[in-house]
Amino acid sequence: MIQIIKFNKEKDLNRLESFLRNQYFENKNMTSWLPERLHDGIYRMDAQLVDAGKEKSSDYFFLWEENETIVGCVLADTDTIHIFIKNGFEELYKDMVKYAEENCKPLFKIKEDGTIDFCIILHDSLKNRVEILKELGYEKQVGEDYDNYVYPQEIDVNIDLPNGFKLVYGDEYINEVNKWSACNLGFHPELESPNYKNKMNPYESRKKSSMYKDSFECLIIDENSHDSNDVCSYCFVYVDKESKTAFIEPVSTREKYRHKGIGTAMMHGVIQKCKNIGVEKCYVNSYDWRRKFYNAAGFITEDSIGFWIKNI
């Protein structure tokens, strides 16, 4: 008999992590979150949402169980919903969508007419679920995300940088404030403003993840910089040693350093580090033009991901 329970981090994190890892082992793709993506949501993004006065996504995680074994889950990501199901339990999908509609509404902004635009995320390769969403009244939006991967053990890369620039990994660079600004929101113009203020909670919270000890930061620095922030490009790489996978999130290059090959060099630094520590498959998620950037750096697009909207 199927039971539905609300996620409890202390009781359920390891079980949910194992469920997602087993989904990866079965499917060898990102049609479910990697455990690394789960940790990023719980330990970084939730802290960021709390800082912004919003609901934590992990308060809207729900697990479907049979004989105390997870067979499916609804995982919220800010104001989008992801649904993952163990092979053989696909008949649960429609009811899981309906359950999410009833129980995840507080995550969505209420419009003037009192309705919300409820958003389900779905990989385009899962065509049977597409038909169910259409049946339930969902419409696909124009924009898409993409899963991109590389096999570090099967690719050779060159880390080519202009003179005066240097690639370093996180433990080689001690200025945590500069790294925090990248980790928290990515590089945006407002981060360059002296009036920009935020807290380091997301950066510090991420360190609580059990994966943190195996994960790493990769940065490009400008050794000739005259301002206090000499970081040009930054990314964090979550590593799961059990599945020998890695997930890169976030990835940022400051505007004034773009179109110089710096971001590509950083991604090649990630690939090289992953190769050295035994990672077999490395993922990064992208949207619109960013996919071309990752493809040019050696990543292959595995799947496209649609945003399905229903007015409720």
Task: Tell whether 238 and 103 lie within a shared domain.
Answer: no
Q: What confidence score (pLDDT) does residue 194 get?
A: 55
**What is the domain extent for residue 96?**
2-145+306-311
Q: What confidence score (pLDDT) does residue 242 get?
A: 98
Task: Tell whether 10 and 63 lie within a shared domain.
Answer: yes
Contact 56, 46 (CB under 8 A): yes
**CATH number of the domain where residue 65 is located:** 3.40.630.30
Q: Angle 94-99-105 (CA atoms, 0-180°, nearest 5)?
A: 125
Enter the pTM of the model. Answer: 0.94
Helix (H/G/I), strand (E/B), else coil: 142: strand
Task: Tell whether 76 and 173 lie within a shared domain.
Answer: no
Helix (H/G/I), strand (E/B), else coil: 202: helix
Task: Tell whether 43 and 175 lie within a shared domain.
Answer: no
Task: Tell whether 105 and 245 lie within a shared domain.
Answer: no
Q: Which two tokens stand for residue 311?
A: 């007015």
Contact 37, 207 (CB under 8 A): no
Q: Which amino acid type is present at position 250? A: P
CB atoms within 10 A of CB 168: 14
Task: Tell whether 247 and 201 lie within a shared domain.
Answer: yes
Q: For each of the chain's 312 residues, which pLDDT tens digit applies?
A: 999 999 999 999 999 999 999 999 999 999 999 999 999 999 999 998 998 899 999 999 999 999 999 999 999 999 999 999 999 999 999 999 999 999 999 999 999 999 999 999 999 999 999 999 999 999 999 989 999 999 999 999 999 999 999 999 999 999 998 888 777 656 566 665 655 556 788 899 999 999 999 999 999 999 998 877 899 999 999 999 999 999 999 998 888 888 999 999 999 999 999 999 999 999 999 987 889 999 999 999 999 999 999 999
Q: How far is CA 73 from the centre of its chain?
A: 17
Task: Tell whether 127 and 163 lie within a shared domain.
Answer: no
Contact 183, 250 (CB under 8 A): yes
| Placement of tokens 């660079």 in the chain | 173
The set of residues, in sequence order, having a beta carbon less than 8 Å from that of 81 and lying 6+ positions away, is 74, 75, 100, 104, 118, 119, 120, 121
Task: Tell whether 169 and 115 lie within a shared domain.
Answer: no
Phi-psi region of 49 (alpha: psi -120 to 50; beta: other; left: phi over 0): alpha
Q: Which amino acid type is present at position 249? A: E
Task: Tell whether 198 and 91 lie within a shared domain.
Answer: no
Contact 89, 53 (CB under 8 A): no
Task: Tell whether 130 and 222 lie within a shared domain.
Answer: no
Number of domain units in the chain: 2
Ranges of H-type helices in 60-170 = 93-103, 127-135
Task: Tell whether 141 and 208 lie within a shared domain.
Answer: no
Helix (H/G/I), strand (E/B), else coil: 5: strand
Task: Tell whether 32 and 131 lie within a shared domain.
Answer: yes
Nearest to 64 by CA among 122, 105, 3: 3
Q: What confidence score (pLDDT) does residue 196 get?
A: 57
| Placement of tokens 């202009």 in the chain | 162
Nearest to 230 by CA among 262, 184, 259, 198: 262
